[in-house]
Amino acid sequence: MRDTDKDIIRGLRLFADVEADKFDSLMMAAYAQRFPAHVDLIREGETADFLYIVLEGSVELFSTSHGRETSMAIVAPVSTFILAATIKDAPYLMAARTLEPSKLLLIPSSNVRTVFGDDPAFARAIVTELASCYRSVVKSMKNLKLRTAIERVGNYIIRLHDKSGKADIVELPFGKRNLASILGMTPENLSRAFGALQSHGIMMDGARIEILDRAALEAISKPNPLIDDPRS
């Protein structure tokens, strides 16, 4: 692995306080690799041989059952995925594929578990990361169960707006088909939701969204920090 990669990884909260020799032993076993877009990385049901970290690009986590498919999450840099399966040495509950050309770090699960046992700082970082993942899924589930389709779309736009530093125009970070699946609806329904929201403070133009009236958007979306706030 290249030293520049190593520096980036060292900077992650997950590894920040890991002892030097433990970190080196993890990195020795790990390797960074580039993948083209739309490549299958893992399949549901396989056992978790590696912990993955997205360094560049983005990865879709999705699940399938009897002919239906749904996106569970999109992982952007810099984040881990399938940490829980790695910890439990259990089969993946979600499949993963690249959405765009991506650079990933793969660390053998057994090494992760070993260092977890040897290095309390790493253990603490792992458990914090896992707790964050858990809370993130809980928020997704609240989003799905407590909101209508239009509210979900509206709040998604509000979050984009916040992330952009309240820019006048925000851009969808991936295709509407994927977004629809993440938000638990069909692409057609997402299209109509965007249409409906144009009377409530936004103006769509392809993947670009102009925020004209944030207050109106909030009025119909009813944001809730305990669902939307990425901190907490």
Residues in contact with DNA by the rule CB under 7 A: 148-150, 175-177, 184-192, 194-195, 204, 206-207
Which residue of 134, 164, 171, 203 would you call a contact of a second copy, by CB under 8 A? Answer: 134
The C-alpha atoms of residue 58 and residue 136 are separated, in whole angstroms, by 17
The C-alpha atoms of residue 102 and residue 198 are separated, in whole angstroms, by 34
Amino acid at 64: T
Torsion of CA 41, 47, 53, 56, to 10 degrees: 0
**Cα–Cα nearest to 160, from 59, 74, 92, 72:** 74
| Residue 53: strand pairing partners | 80, 105
Considering beta carbons, is residue 144 or 212 the nearer one to a second copy? 144
Cross-sheet strand order for the sheet of 59-65: 40-42, 95-98, 59-65, 68-75
112 binds a second copy (CB under 8 A): no
Q: How far is the CB of 117 from a second copy (least distance, A)?
A: 6
User: How deeply is 226 buried, as exposed, middle or buried, from its count of CB atoms within 10 A (0-12, 13-18, 19+)?
Assistant: exposed
Task: Give 3-state DSSP helix, strand, coil % of the chain, rounded to 5.
Answer: 45, 25, 30
Considering beta carbons, is residue 70 or 110 the nearer one to a second copy? 70
220 binds a second copy (CB under 8 A): no
194 touches which of a second copy, DNA, none (CB within 5 to 8 A by kind)?
DNA
Considering beta carbons, is residue 165 or 206 the nearer one to DNA? 206
Q: Which stretch binds a second copy (CB under 8 A): 8-16, 98-106, 129-137, 208-216?
A: 129-137
Which residue of 83, 105, 107, 180 would you call a contact of a second copy, by CB under 8 A? Answer: 83
84 touches which of a second copy, DNA, none (CB within 5 to 8 A by kind)?
a second copy
130 touches which of a second copy, DNA, none (CB within 5 to 8 A by kind)?
a second copy
Considering beta carbons, is residue 153 or 158 the nearer one to DNA? 153
Considering beta carbons, is residue 8 or 158 the nearer one to DNA? 158
DSSP assigned state of 91: B
The C-alpha atoms of residue 83 and residue 140 are separated, in whole angstroms, by 18
Which residue of 29, 76, 78, 84 would you call a contact of a second copy, by CB under 8 A? Answer: 84
* CA distances (Å), origin 21, targets 2, 87, 191: 17, 21, 52
**Which x/- pattern, by CB under 8 A, does the window 175-214 give for a second copy?**
---------x------------------------------
Considering beta carbons, is residue 2 or 145 the nearer one to a second copy? 145
